[in-house]
Every structure is written in C-alpha cells, then in structure tokens.
Structure 1
Amino acid sequence: MPLPGDGLIPAPAEVQTMAVTIPAPPEEVWPWLLQMGVDRAGLYSYTWLENGLLHLGVTNADRIHPEWQDLQVGDIIAFTPEGYPGGRSGPRVVDMESCRHLVLDLSPGGPPGTVTGTWQFVLHDAGDAGTRLLLRTRSGPGRPWGLRLMDFVLRPGYLVMDRAMLLGIKKRAGRDAQRKPPPSAQL
C-alpha cells in the first residue's frame, strides 16, 4: 500500500516494509519516535552491538523524555555521536505529521534536494488492538555506488536491527499502556 514518503523515490530500486502491532494508541507510540537518536533516547535496538562493535555510546531510554519531544522537519536523528570518526551523521526529517508519520531522508552526502533513501515510520490506528507501526525503507536508483554496495553487504544486519527497533518500541509503548488504568477507572 502507498505510505507517506513514497513519493520521494517514485521508482525505487529496493523496498522493505515491516510492521508490528503495539497495544497502545498512536499518541502513546509517537513520543518514542520523536526522541530517537544515539545522543537522545537511542534506537531501541541491540546496544551490545551498537556499543560493542560500533562504539556509539548508546543508552536506550525506558521512559518518555519531555526535553526530547521537539523534533522538527530539518532535524537529524543521529546515528553517530558528536566526535565520532567521520562526524555526527544520521537521517534528516523531511516530513512528519503528529501521531501519523515520520519520514526520514537516508541520503548522506547526496546532492541537495535529491533523496536516494528513506526511512518511513507510519502509525495506523488499529482500534482495540492499538497501533500498527510500519517501517518502510526505500532505496532509489540514484544512490551512490559506495552506499549501494554497503547496503547490499549490510542488509541482513539492517533488517535485524530494524526488527529489534520495532520490538523495542513495542515493548516500551506497550508497557506504558499497560500501566495506565482503563478509561472507566480514571473517572
């Protein structure tokens, strides 16, 4: 199905979509997305890999941090910290609608205005089941050959880390939803 952000790469060379159902409404899942980044709440994935192999210094948050809820279009969600060899880098926010979608440009070093890769987080209200959180990654034909080669070699790792991230968000947002009393008990 078409998702917000698909139009940034109209003829993708590659598309992967994965999803998880979270037993919480979209407004309780959204804050977890806003605070992502290695210098903020982490990426909710495998810190043993991020810190042990890549030395990123990630700490995954287990609560919502109000001070990290200010993400805006144009901001970067850091994959590497300040002072990291090669510099601080990560995808740039190109589109977002509160509690609905967050679209990131994964085109490091590309020409301005040219998107060759996306990371698209989309929240669908699943009624009593909670939220269906979709993550779509798209790569365009204009992606530099070095990045295409790196993507090819690291694709299995990307899929494992993306899955872990979705499950990490599910664990945190679902746990928060379970702690809240039912609406009838709040009266």
Structure 2
Amino acid sequence: MPLPGDDLIPDPDEVQTMAVAISARPEQIWPWLVQMGVDRAGLYSYTWVENGLLHLGVTNADRIHPEWQDLQVGDIIAFMPERYPGGRMGPRVVALESGRHLVLDSSPGAAPGRVTGTWQFVLHDDGAAGTRLLLRSRSGPGRPVGLRVTDFLLRPGYLVMERAMLLGIKKRADSEARTETAVVGA
C-alpha cells in the first residue's frame, strides 16, 4: 500500500516494509518516535550492538521525555553522537504529522535536494485493536556506489536492528498504555 513519503522516491530500487501491532493508540506511540536518536532516547534496539560494537554511548529511554517532544522538519535523528568520527549524523526529518507519520531522508552523499533513501514510520489506527506501526525503508537511483555496497553488506544487520527497534517501541508503548488504563480504571 502507498505510504506517506513514497513519493520522495517514485521508482525505488529497493523497498522493505515491516510492521508491529501495538496495544496503544497512535497518540500514545507518537512520543516514543519523536524522541528517538542516539543522543536523546536511543533507538530502542540492541544496545550491545550500538555500544559494544559501535561505541555509540546509547541509553534507551523507558519513559517519555517532554524535553524531546519538539521534533521539526529539518531536524536530524542522530545515529552517531557529536563525539563520533565524522560528527553527529543521521536521517533528516522531511515530513511529520503528529500521531500519523514520520518521514526521514537518509540520503548521505546525494546531490542537494535529491532523496535517495527514506525511513518512513506510519501509525495506522486499528480502533479497539490498537495501532499498527509500519516502518518502510526505500532506496533509489542516485545512491552513491559505496553506500549501495555498504547497504547490501549490512542489510541483514539493518533488518535485525529495525525489528528490534519496532519491538522496543511496542514494549514501551504497550506498557505505558496498560499503566494508563490501570490508572483510569482505578
């Protein structure tokens, strides 16, 4: 199905879509998405990879941080901290609609204004059943050769880390939704 952000790469070379069902409303999941970043709430994935292998210094948050809820178009969701070789880097926010979608441009080395990779988070409200969180990654023409080779070699690792991230978000949002329901029902 078409998702917000697909139009940025109309003829992709690769598309991967993952999803997870979460027993929470979209507005309960949204704060977990907008506070992501290695220098903020983490990426909710395997810190033994991020810290043990990559030495990123990530701490995954287990609560919503009000000070990290102001994500705007143009902001970076850092995959590398300031002190890392090459500095603070990560995909740039190109579109967001609270409780609905967050679209990131992951086009390092591309010509200005040209999107060659995206990371798209989409929240589908399933009513009483909760929310389906989708993550789509797209890459397209114009991606630098070196990055294409790196993506090809690291693809299995990307998929494992992205799955862990979705499950990490699910765990946190489900837990918060259960706590909120318990408090309201008390």
When the two structures are superposed, what TM-score results if normalisation uses the length of structure 1? Answer: 0.97
Deviation at 1:185, TM superposition (A): 3.1
Unaligned runs of at least 5 residues, structure 1: none
For 1:110, give the aligned amino acid: A
Counterparts of 2:107 and 2:64, CA distance in 1: 28
CA deviations 1:44-63 (Å, max 9, x no partner) are: 00000000000000000000
Cα RMSD over matched residues? 1.2
2:133 aligned with 1:124, yes or no? no
Q: Partners of 1:132 and 1:183 in 2: how far apart?
A: 24
Cα 1:184–1:81 change in 2 (3 A) is: closer
Tell me the equivalent position of 2:160: 160
Task: Give the count of matched residue pairs.
Answer: 186
Q: How many Å separate the matches in 2 of 1:75 and 1:25?
A: 25
Following the alignment from structure 2 to structure 1, what is the Cα–Cα distance between the partners of residues 181 and 74? 37
Q: Map residues 100-115 of structure 1 onto 2, 5 A cutoff.
A: 100-115=100-115
Structure 2 matches for 1:18-57, cutoff 5 A? 18-57=18-57
Post-superposition Cα deviations, 1:18-52, rounded to whole Å, max 9, x if no partner, equal 00000000000000000000000000000000000
Partner of 2:175: 175
In structure 2, distance between residues paired with 1:48 and 1:23:
27
User: What is the identity, as a one-letter code, of the residue corresponding to 2:151?
Assistant: D
Structure 2 Cα separation of the partners of residues 37 and 149 of structure 1: 25
Alpha-carbon shift at residue 83 of structure 1 (Å): 1.4
The answer for the alignment partner of 1:148 in structure 2 is: 148
Inter-partner Cα distance in structure 2 for 1:133 and 1:184: 25
Amino acid aligned to 2:53: L
Structure 2 CA distance for aligned equivalents of residues 162 and 184 of structure 1: 33
Could you say what secondary structure the match of 1:52 adopts?
helix
- The aligned amino acid for 2:167 is L
Over 3 Å counting, the alpha-carbon distance change for 1:95 and 1:140 in structure 2 is: same
Q: Distance in 1 between matches of 2:58 and 2:184?
A: 39
Alpha-carbon shift at residue 183 of structure 1 (Å): 9.2
Aligned to 1:77: 77
| TM-score, length-scaled by structure 2 | 0.97
Counterpart CA distance in 2 for 1:23 and 1:37 is: 24
CA distance in 2, matches of 1:69, 1:63: 12
Structure 2 portions without partners, runs of 5+: none
Q: What percentage of residue pairs aligned between the two structures are identical?
A: 78
Q: Conserved in 1, the CA contact under 8 Å of 2:109 and 2:144? A: no
Separation in 2, partners of 1:78, 1:183: 34
- 2:77 is matched by which residue type in structure 1? I
- SS at 2:45 equivalent: coil
CA distance in structure 1 between the partners assigned to 2:107 and 2:9 by the alignment: 11
